[in-house]
Amino acid sequence: MSCIDADVLRQNCEHCRECDACCRANARPSLLSRVVLSVVACLLALTTLVLAGNAAAALPEDSVYRLDAQLVDQDGHRFAFADAQGEVRLASMFYATCPYVCPMLVEQLKAIEHALDQPARARLRVLLVSLEAERDTPEVLAQVAAQRRIDTARWTLAQPRADDLRKLAAVLGVQYRKLPDGEFNHSTVISLLAPDGRVLAQTSRLGGEPDPEFIAAVSAALAADTN
């Protein structure tokens, strides 16, 4: 800074006796600047909340995605339950150490997929939420996906928060009870969810051919989603 510049600064800084001190004082953000930045940050946060509220308001009253629940997938990615909207999806609940019923549930979901033609199968998504919120970590879920040869490009295995477990089970129509030995007694309901979260159909059939009426509902939902 030139001496002329320093003189100008000293004239505008009555209490400053040193040129470099005055420069430092003028380099600091003004109170007005800090206030403006704070207001902008608040407005951005408010806009985010309003957009989230509008998205929820746009959902039908019976949408499962109105539920405020947080999950973590097999890759460790955190997401809100409502983030699953926008695609036709099959949803159910399981747990990693389930010895009999859950493997059958996974195979039944695969059978439903295989009953569809390839283009429809490619657009169908699957969400499996764990009943064991504490033990079924992303690492455990990733192992299950590998063992069961699950296509994680289309399937999501998710660990919920313990506080959200009951609420998720309720909206998905799954009943469960934890047994003294740590296992779970649970229903095997598979829900067909519309992109907006409405439950279009449900089935509890395990083993053998999938319910033809349920397959028809899945096909119709996928066909409608292309229009």
Pair (198, 123) in one structural domain: yes
- Count structural domains, the chain: 2
Q: Using one digit for the tens of pLDDT, what is the confidence trace for 118-168?
A: 999 999 999 999 999 999 999 999 999 999 999 999 999 999 999 999 999
| pLDDT at residue 208, rounded to an integer | 85
Same domain, 18 and 72: no
What's the whole-number mean pLDDT along residues 186-201?
Answer: 97
Q: Domain boundary residue among 13, 28, 58? A: 58
pLDDT at 28: 54
- Give the model's pLDDT for residue 32: 65
Same domain, yes or no: 40 and 75: no
Q: Range of 117's domain? A: 64-225
Check whether residue 121 and residue 220 sit in a common domain: yes
One domain for residues 204 and 158: yes
pLDDT band at 49 (very low <50, low <70, confident <90, very high): very low
Which tens digit of pLDDT belongs to each residue from 64-115? 999 999 999 999 999 999 999 999 999 999 999 999 999 999 999 999 999 9
Residue at which a domain ends, from 58, 90, 106: 58
CATH, residue 180: 3.40.30.10
CA distances from 9 to 6, 16, 31, 33 (A): 5, 9, 18, 20
Whole-angstrom Cα distance, residue 225 to residue 227?
A: 6
Q: pTM here?
A: 0.74
| Domain co-membership, 134 together with 174 | yes
Task: Looking at the structure, tell me whether residues 158 and 49 fall in a common domain.
Answer: no
214 and 123, same domain (yes or no): yes
